[in-house]
Amino acid sequence: MNDILNQAIQIAKPNLSKGKLADYIPELTKSNPQNIGICIVDLEKNIYEAGDSNVKFTIQSVSKPIMLALALLEYDEEKIFSKVGKEPSGDPFNSYMKLEIVKPSKPYNPFINAGAIAIASIIKGENLQEKENKILDFFRKMACNPDISINDSVYKSEKETGHRNRAIGHILKNEGIIEGDVEETLDLYFKQCSIEVTVKDLALMGLCLAQNGINYNGERILDEKISKIVKAFMFTCGMYDESGEYAINVGIPSKSGVGGGIMASVPFKYGIGTYSPSLDCKGNSIGGLDMLKFISEKLNLSIL
């Protein structure tokens, strides 16, 4: 396995210069575009890592499947899907176009920003601090890492510059999708995106979903139904408006984030985490895409 991971990195490296860092969140421009790392964990609990696997980065949109899982623990499906749809939007992740032209204005799915903000709005808790503690606790349990925490500089950077997300939040409030306080909802969303992880954290979270809700330590965190719903969205909507092409090239339920991470979950086989902050024009990690394509072909991991 170590050889395969090192080969994947060698194959991906020459293409990193073709992409660029996400710069609409100023703090993310501090990443090193040449960083590339990968971690894979199997059902026997073997953990393999290669490249810059100890670099920390913010989880960004990879938080969305974890937050969906948490919301599905707190509410029945009927409530969740009264807030978000179940279909790919085909639009960029930060688009609000369809909220205006398709009525009722329900976000197409929980993985576009509008859908993730709607999900953040229903997480239970007396106040923001209680909700923040709860989500951190849940991410820590998924990844079996009690040290996971929020990168405060990225959080502040997102909060200061997140005008587009703020616009989306206010549209959703106007449409009655967000029930509570819109600024508190946005704050929780910015915080979930600023959670700091390594490729190992992503691999272990991916493994928890691959085992239908049983984490690396053997604890049941989610039931099978919730895990399958989350993986279904990862497969159909996980790579933004590049999800179809990714299903053809890689064929593994996955979720990417503009911080450069990808979490992949190969049912009953592996959890995989990749990092490379150089992004393609859709916002997906170039190195991550290349490495996952190589590994999927090499180990025959496409679920199709």
Ligand X SMILES: NC(=O)CC[C@H](N)C(=O)O
Compute CA 173 distance to the chain's CA centroid, rounded to the nearest angstrom: 24
**Which single residue is written with the structure tokens 């499906």?**
77
Nearest distance, CB of residue 192 and ligand X, angstroms: 9
Nearest to 6 by CA among 41, 56, 40: 40
46 labelled binding-site residue:
no
Binding residue for ligand X (CB under 6 A) from 28, 31, 49, 93?
93
* Catalytic residue flag (residue 258): yes
Site membership for ligand X, residue 271 (CB under 6 A): no
Alpha carbons 4 and 298: distance in angstroms, whole number: 8
* Catalytic residue flag (residue 227): no
Helices vs strands, H then E, count in the chain: 13, 8
Site membership for ligand X, residue 284 (CB under 6 A): no
Site membership for ligand X, residue 246 (CB under 6 A): no
* Catalytic residue flag (residue 108): no
Give the type of residue at 244.
G
Binding residue for ligand X (CB under 6 A) from 53, 94, 215, 285?
94
Alpha carbons 296 and 239: distance in angstroms, whole number: 16
- 36's CB contacts (< 8 A; 6+ apart) are 9, 12, 13, 16, 51, 52, 275, 276, 287, 291
* Catalytic residue flag (residue 240): yes
Site membership for ligand X, residue 155 (CB under 6 A): no
* Catalytic residue flag (residue 189): yes
CB 206 within 8 A of CB 135: no
Helix (H) or strand (E) holding 79: helix 77-83
Buried/exposed code over 281-297 (b: 16+ C-beta within 10 A; e: otherwise): ebbbbbbbbbbbbbbbe
Binding residue for ligand X (CB under 6 A) from 31, 53, 61, 274?
61
Binding residue for ligand X (CB under 6 A) from 95, 165, 227, 278?
165
Nearest distance, CB of residue 94 and ligand X, angstroms: 5
CB atoms within 10 A of CB 267: 16
- Which residue in 48, 96, 216, 240 is the catalytic one? 240
297 labelled binding-site residue:
no
41 labelled binding-site residue:
no
Nearest distance, CB of residue 127 and ligand X, angstroms: 22
Binding residue for ligand X (CB under 6 A) from 37, 257, 287, 288?
257
Binding residue for ligand X (CB under 6 A) from 110, 251, 283, 287?
283
Q: What is the DSSP letter of 262?
A: E
Site membership for ligand X, residue 158 (CB under 6 A): yes
Site membership for ligand X, residue 151 (CB under 6 A): no
Q: Is 56 helix (H, G, I), strand (E, B) or coil?
A: coil
Alpha carbons 56 and 28: distance in angstroms, whole number: 12
Give the type of residue at 19.
G
Nearest distance, CB of residue 142 and ligand X, angstroms: 18
Binding residue for ligand X (CB under 6 A) from 80, 258, 292, 301?
258
Site membership for ligand X, residue 241 (CB under 6 A): no
Site membership for ligand X, residue 33 (CB under 6 A): no
Site membership for ligand X, residue 195 (CB under 6 A): no
Residues assigned a catalytic role: 61, 64, 189, 240, 258
- Which residues bind to ligand X, rule: CB under 6 A? 60-61, 93-94, 113, 158, 165, 193, 257-258, 283
